[in-house]
Amino acid sequence: MSRTPIKQPDFLPMTRAEMDRLGWKELDILLVTGDAYVDHPSFGAPLLGRWLVSRGYRTGIVAQPRWNLEAGDPGEVAAMGRPRLFAGVTAGSLDSMLAHYTAFRKKRSDDAYTPGGQAGSRPNRAAIAYANLVRRAFPGIPVALGGIEASLRRVSHYDFWSQSLRRSILFDAKATVVLYGMAEHSILALAEELDRLSEEGGGLADALARVPGAVHARKAGDLPQGLGPHEVLELPSHEAILADPRLLLEATLLSERHVHQNRQVAVQGSGDRMAVLTPPGRGLDGAALDALYALPFSKEPHPSYRRPIPAADMIRGSLNIHRGCAGGCSFCTLALHQGRTIRSRSRASVLAEAVRLVDVKGFTGSISDVGGPSANMWGARCLGNMEACLRASCLTPKICKHFKADQGGFVDLLGEIARLPGVRHVRVASGWRMDLGLADKEALSRMIRDFTGGQAKVAPEHTDALVLQLMRKPPFSVFEEFVALFQRESGRAGKEQYVVPYLMSAFPGCTVESMRRMAAWFAGRGWKPNQIQCFIPLPGTAAAAMFFAGTDLEGNPLPVATSDAERLCQHAVLGAEQKRPHARADSPERKPAGRPAGAPVRGRGAAARPPAGRLKERK
């Protein structure tokens, strides 16, 4: 259902007065976000808001609304009136629990997505809290959850902060639908389907079944009409996973396959209902992706803010040139949320944005980052049949023969940007994928010599072969080869440049002994790493499933550091943390106790783990 495009406002409205100035009597769609409103394509709500406006839907934003309201107080959510079609809800650019708590469950004191950088402007489990606000303000309105928090919690998942297995956020938030992944197609399809329902009538469940990348609820066994047996991918039910934690491994790996192959409807039972997940859809690419980034983003915070927003300052001079990550690291959310398919903007689109960036207020001539999830994946593509692919990663254990990356073209693009009038420096600050870079050493050498701002951020994560295999990372020898090449090329260029390695402690399979071996490697070379993260099992990831089950992906028992004492002991080996964290009254739901290494985390009502076995179809 096509609509007449609307003129893009300077900023999407946040108040009734701003709506009045635009001549809008009502909103079609309201977006509620846990981030401050920065009119930049790196912020999800403004990105989708401008996309919807370009398709003719009047869209407003409520940013970081108060959630602890007294009875009778409708709050900021109601300020612009009831939207005609639906309200979209996102916790923001980060999972709200990750934004609030460290790996040792200490309360964070800052929030880069908030004016002044101060924590406390969004609630815990913000997607659920905001959905409740919307239903309270507008009874009966369809509520669509989106963003990273909802996307990764779309099916049963392990929750580190309550140490429990939680069901799909669709049920906990009592939402109408969850839009998972990059949601431009799905949110537009939802708007069109609800528009059609309002004019022609029909069933809501059938309409939701036509939305790509969407999760909706049905009664158990009530599949959408017209589906054949080979078109349905059944995940282990929530109750089955509670009884056997190893089944979370199976559910997670099937979810990964569902996103990558993009061909089946996935279902998961939960009590007397089931979550139905439509395939993610084709995603934006080519001209559509270019058109999205050509929308008139001001790149500035909304003028109502009086204090700076740290995240806005960090991205002010950056260019995002692609989506997706082919790595598929088991602890990372990027491939789960954005997919493994690389969707790149055209050269012309990137250059056009760089020209516009020169005119942005405060631009100093330095483009601080040109990249994406992994900078040197721009232009990469799969020449194989992705629908039949059973690989969990395009790059490990070795780079797939069907995965082709034009890294020379990427470096050529950097050179074109650097030659634009008004541009003095171009840097690549996004993480570099080392194994991919070493596959084209000529392009990598050029990037090191010409486009490194003194530091190259890379993620070897560990030195232990087993841990790296479980992480889906390349062997440590790749890091050693990269460092040697980096030092050689930096010397040839006459530059003093450094490699910044990102390392991880307490990953499933990691022990104090393996941490000591890693520390010895760096100490033996006079290297004192300072980018050391203690593993956090993020919802939806394969690593979180291993943490929960106490096994590897094949069901074999693993040592798993679960208590804060065990985790801190590993983390301290590299000098990353010197004292035990304190429990605080404002910590999440409860402070988990430890469990023996290799034993499963027990969900609410979980039975004891049966003897270790092997899961089927691990290819």
Element holding 312 (H helix, E strand): helix 310-315
3-state secondary structure of 65: coil
Q: How far is the C-alpha of 405 from the C-alpha of 440, rounded, in Å? A: 9
Strands 177-179 and 143-146: parallel
Nearest Cα neighbor of 260 from 182, 336, 150 is 336
* Pair of tokens at residue 259: 């996103």
Residue type for 382, please? Answer: C
> CA-CA distances (angstroms) from residue 504 to 507, 557, 560?
7, 21, 14
Q: How far is the C-alpha of 104 from the C-alpha of 114, rounded, in Å? A: 23
Q: How far is the C-alpha of 212 from the C-alpha of 8, rounded, in Å? A: 26
CB-CB neighbours of 140 under 10 Å: 6
| CA distance from start to end of the chain | 42
Q: Report the half-sphere exposure of 522 (CA within 13 A, side-chain side).
A: 25
Q: Quote the DSSP letter at residue 440.
A: T
List CB contacts of 325: < 8 A, sequence separation 6 or more: 332, 334, 335, 338, 340, 342, 373, 374, 377
List CB contacts of 546: < 8 A, sequence separation 6 or more: 249, 330, 470, 508, 509, 552, 553, 558, 560
List CB contacts of 596: < 8 A, sequence separation 6 or more: none
Q: How far is the C-alpha of 193 from the C-alpha of 172, rounded, in Å? A: 24
382 is in an annotated binding site: no
400 is in an annotated binding site: no
Q: How far is the C-alpha of 357 from the C-alpha of 115, rounded, in Å? A: 23
For tokens 């010409």, what's the residue?
450
List CB contacts of 296: < 8 A, sequence separation 6 or more: 8, 50
Q: How far is the C-alpha of 49 from the C-alpha of 194, rounded, in Å? A: 17
Q: How far is the C-alpha of 145 from the C-alpha of 127, rounded, in Å? A: 7
List CB contacts of 580: < 8 A, sequence separation 6 or more: 564, 565, 568
Annotated binding site for [4Fe-4S] cluster: 325, 329, 332
